[in-house]
Amino acid sequence: MSAPFREALVDLGAIAENVRALRARVATSTVMAVVKADGYGHGAIPAAHAALDGGANWLGVADIAEALRLRDAGITAPLLAWLHAPGADFASAIEAGIELGVSSAAQLEEVAAAGPAAVQLKLDTGLGRNGIQSDDAEAVFRRAADLQHLGRIRVRGLFSHLSNASVDDDTAQLAVFEQQLAAARAAGLDPEFTHLAATAGALSLPAARLGMVRLGLGIYGLSPFTDTTSTALGLRPAMRLSAVVASVKRVPAGQGVSYGYTFRTAAPTTLALVPLGYADGVPRHASNRAPVSINGHTYRIAGRVAMDQFVVDVGDAPVSVGDAAVLFGDPAEGVPSADDWAAACDTINYEIVTRIGARVTRSYRS
Ligand SMILES: *Cc1c(COP(=O)(O)O)cnc(C)c1O
């Protein structure tokens, strides 16, 4: 069988190994594998299975629909969802054994009304996003203790999320978290799970590991730090994005390439057409900048990335229709990395992998 036209090939063994490697580094903590956003574009269900194989104890997602999809696939591991729209279907989540992150007094009432529910209170310790604000925390803790006494909820955890603005900022958030944990206990709560750190915090701020860490990016083999590669962290990128060359043509010097002619050939040359475009998640910012590997050589994209395709000027290299063009993968295999793409597109590797579109076939190897 020929390779898919456009393919994101995911190495599930790499995900399991990355979890194992990260787990060894945060030995005292329980690991929640974060598989939101379709497992960062890798496929939530296969990624969840691989992470559990690698020793993850929990799974985390943003919303209830994502959590229900995992349950529908037969995944029974402890599972937390923490971002809810007004009127979210808490009853279905509770029935499916999904634990609910609760970020406000109003949400606590909604969840309790749909309960009995297992909840984890999400605190805003400084990120300024989702979570119970410090001023409200004591009242929410008291109300949660009452609702727990009434059997409407059980407060299983207390958590927050770091800004990664600086070590000092993260340390300040940790201090706020510890104060609030004490306040929660004083209000009569006894949360079994306390967690603050995602991949960056788990690796760079040991004090923030607490009882559990929520690892997303790292389990996919990518580094959250711009100054430390995945290889240096002992992680292996799990995704390789490629497409087959759809057309090859010889053109003369001076040939304009793609919309707006932002690239012109310098000499007679061969142009290879790669059938991936911004509709497939290739950022338009990659135009004339991002690297692509064909037959072991790395080139730059020539001209603008279009909706469905882009062009590579391969010079006199013997490139044929059907050859594989690799956009990114494991740099140890001599191909560009998602980090190279992030740098070329002025963004972060998270965005590079999560934006891959529906036309791209996800394939798996173990
Ligand atoms: C996405 C997310 C994570 C995982 O973050 P990474 O940087 O990918 O490890 C952890 N916790 C929360 C609340 C998140 O939203």
Domain ranges of the chain: 12-220, 239-365
Average pLDDT over residues 71-83: 98
Cβ of 35 less than 6 Å from ligand 1: no
Q: Are 305 and 283 in contact (CB under 8 A)?
A: yes
Pocket test for ligand 1, best of 15, 38, 214, 223 (most atoms within 8 A of CB): 214
- CA dist 201 and 209 (Å) reads 7
Residue spans of alpha helices (H) in the chain: 12-25, 36-40, 44-53, 64-72, 90-95, 105-114, 134-149, 167-186, 199-204, 338-344, 349-354
Contact 222 CB / ligand 1 (< 6 Å): no
Do 156 and 120 form a contact (C-beta atoms < 8 A)? yes
Q: Ligand 1: distance of its center to the CA of 34 in Å?
A: 7
Q: Please report the sign of the dihedral spanned by the C-alpha atoms of residue 138, residue 139, residue 140, residue 146.
A: positive
* Local confidence band at 3 (pLDDT 50, 70, 90 cut-offs): confident
The H or E element that residue 212 is part of is strand 212-215
Q: Residue 111 in contact with residue 102, Cβ under 8 Å?
A: yes
Residue type at 331 in one-letter notation: P
Annotate 126-175 with DSSP letters as a single string: SSSSSSB-HHHHHHHHHHHHHHHHTTSEEEEEEEE----S-HHHHHHHHH
Q: pLDDT band at residue 28, thresholds of 50, 70 and 90?
A: confident
Domain 12-220 has what CATH class? alpha beta
Give the mean pLDDT of the chain: 97
Task: State the distance from the centre of ligand 1 to the C-alpha of 154, rounded, in angstroms.
Answer: 24
Calpha distance 161→258 (Å, rounded): 43
pTM exceeding the 0.95 threshold for the entire prediction = yes
Name the architecture of domain 239-365.
Answer: Beta Barrel (2.40)
Q: What is the DSSP letter of 207?
A: G
Under DSSP, is residue 360 helix (H, G, I), strand (E, B) or coil?
A: coil
Select from 23, 25, 30, 34 the residue to mutate for testing ligand 1; criterion: most ligand atoms less than 8 Å from CB. Answer: 34
| 325 close to ligand 1 (CB < 6 Angstrom) | no
Q: Is the CB of 214 under 6 A from ligand 1?
A: yes
Q: What is the pLDDT of residue 2?
A: 67
Ligand 1 centre to CA of 22 (Å) is 15
